Copies of this chain bind each other. A is one copy, B any other.
Amino acid sequence: MARRRSTPLIRLSRDDSEPLYRQLRNGLVAAIEAGTLGPGDLLPSSRTLALELDVSRNTANLALQELVTEGFIQSIDRVGYVVSQEVGPFVQARREPPGIPIDWDVRFRHPTDPYPHMRKPPNWSDYAYPFVVGQPDPSLFPTRAWNRAGRAALDGENRSISLSDLIDQDDPLLTTLLCERILPARGISATPDQILVSLGSQQGLFLVAHALVGSSSRVGVEDPGYPDARHIFSRRRGTLRAMPIDDQGILVEGTTSGLDVVFVTPSHQYPTNVTLAVGRRQQLLTAAADDDFVVIEDDYDAEFRYQGQPTPALKAMDETGRVVYLGSFSKFLAPGLRLGYIVADAPLIEHLRDIRRYMLRHPAGLLQRTTALMIESGDYAASVRKTRIAVKDKWERASSGLATHLPEWNIPTQTGGLSIWVPGPSGFDATGLARLALGRGIVIEPGNVCFLNEPRPVNYFKLGFSGIAADSIEPGIAALATLIEDQT
C-alpha cells in the first residue's frame, strides 16, 4: 500500500445549496475518478481535512463516512482511510465503450404458444360505433358511491386493511360479504376459507392453471371458446382438447375421458351465449367424478340474462368439490378495477393462497375494502340493478337491430351476455368485414380467434353492446348491414 500524503484540490463554497460535507465528498470522488487518488492511497485524516479546508471535524467525518458507505474508501485500523482497491476498474471502465447489447430471445424460459390473440383497437372509444366486447360503459360506473366508499376505506378501522401489506390474506369483510350477499344469488353456499380474492377472473384462472396444469395435463376447452383461457393453459404446457358446443352448451358424452381439467362458461357460453342445459350440467358433474377431472367454471356475464332469471351456477350443484368457480366484479363495477374471486374447496384455496403470496401477495387492500363497503351499504346492489336495466335496453336494441337489418341471417336468439355471436352465411369473411368496418368507424370483433384448430371458420363475428352508447346501436348496425350488402 503506497502511503502517499495527498492534499486534493477541493474548493468548498459556503453559498452553495449543497451542504459542505457533500461538497467535500464530491471533491474527493472527483480526485479518485481523476486518478489523483489511486487504489490504496491514504487519505488525509479528518483533522487534517478540517484544518486545511476550514470546516468542522464533524463535516469532514460525515464526508469520509459517506465515502465508506459508498465503497470509495475503506477504514483500516491504526492506518486511516485508504482508497478502495476495487475502485480502479470502475474508474477505468467509465472510459471504455459501451458493451455489446444483450440478446434477450435466447434467454426466455417461458413458453409461448401458437394461438392467435384477441385484438381490439386500444382507442376503441374514439370510434363512432364501438361494438367491442368486454368493455364497460364508463357512464354507468357508480362514481359517487365509489368515492364515498373509497373515503370510508381510508378512515378509522378500515385504514389498516386498506394500506397494510396483508402478505397472503384478503380483506375479511369482503370474503364474508361474498359468502353472505353475493354468492347466494348464484346458488352457491360457501365459507370464507373457500374464497380467495383475485385480480379478476382471468388472474383467477391463471392461478388455478398454475396450481393444476402441468406438461402432463390434458385440458378440455369449449370450441369455439374463450381464447385467453387457451393461452393460459397452453403456457402451462397443458395439452388442449376441443369440446364442441351445440344449442345445449358443451358436449360432454364421449369427450371427457382422460382429461384432468375442463374449462367451461355455463351461464352464457363464450362466445355463443348458449346456456349450459341442466342435463348437460349433471352429465358434466357425473363425468367429472367418473373420469376424475376438475371443472373450472368461469361465471362469465352470469347476471346479464334478459329473459327469465339467471340460472344458478354450476358450482351450486357441486357435491364433491370438483368445481372451481371464478367470479368477477368487472361487469358491475369496472374491469379497470381488476377485482374478482375464486370459490373452491378449502385445501385448494390454501394452495392457491400460497402460490399467490409469491406471485403478487394480494389484490390491493384499498380496492377490496372499498368494494366491501359498497356491498355492505347496498350501493353495489343498486349499481347491479341500474346496470342491468341499462344493458337490457342495449341488448334489445342490438337484437332488434340485427333482426331488422340482417333478417335473412337468422341469428339465433341469445337471451344473455354482453355481446351477440353473429354467424354469417357460409363463405362469409367476417375478418375482412371487421377491417372494412373500422374505416367507417365501426368496431366489431372477428370470431375466428375463438376456434381452437385450423382452419378456423371466418364467417363469425362478435357484436358487443356494453361499451357503445345506446343511441348508436341501431344506426351502427344499419351502417354495418350496408357494408355487408356491399360485400356479399
Contact = CB atoms under 8 A, between A and B. Distances in A.
A163 B136 contact: yes
Nearest to A147: B151
Nearest to A103: B347
A134 B165 contact: yes
Interface string A281-292: 111011001000
A203 B361 contact: yes
A125 B358 contact: no
B363 A86 contact: no
Interface in A318-368: 319-322, 330, 334-339, 345, 347-348, 351, 354-355, 358-367
A95 to B, nearest CB: 12
B278 A336 contact: no
Contacts of A30: none
B362 A311 contact: no
A164 B147 contact: no
Nearest to A274: B69
Contacts of A65: 307-308, 415
Contacts of A203: 359-361
A455 interface: no
A101 B358 contact: no
A418 B87 CA distance: 28
Interface stretch (A4-12, A208-216, A402-410, A420-428): A208-216
Contact of A69 (B99, B367, B415): B415
A165 B335 contact: yes
Given A203-B359, A364-B364, A335 B164 contact: yes
A360 B348 contact: no
A322 B102 contact: yes
Given A200-B360, A308-B62, A135 B164 contact: yes
Contact of A364 (B105, B109, B141, B367): B367
A397 interface: no
Contacts of A355: 110
A162 interface: yes
Given A69-B415, A361-B203, A309 B278 contact: no
A294 interface: yes
A25 B308 contact: yes
B143 A336 contact: no
B138 A164 contact: yes
A223 interface: no
A159 interface: yes
A166 interface: yes
Interface size class of A (residues with CB under 8 A): 35 or more
B166 A360 contact: no
Contacts of A348: 104
A77 to B, nearest CB: 13
B279 A89 contact: yes
Interface string A378-406: 00000000000000000000000000000
B282 A93 contact: yes
Nearest to A344: B104
A180 interface: no
A334 B232 CA distance: 31
A158 B281 CA distance: 43
A453 interface: no
Nearest to A275: B69
A435 to B, nearest CB: 19
B334 A206 contact: no
Contacts of A362: 338
A354 to B, nearest CB: 8
Interface of A: 21-22, 25, 62, 65-66, 69-72, 84-90, 93, 98-102, 104-105, 107-110, 112, 120, 122, 125, 134-136, 138, 141, 143, 146-147, 150-151, 154, 159-167, 169, 199-200, 202-203, 206, 210-214, 216-217, 228, 231-232, 235-236, 248-249, 260, 275-283, 285-286, 289, 294, 307-309, 311, 319-322, 330, 334-339, 345, 347-348, 351, 354-355, 358-367, 415
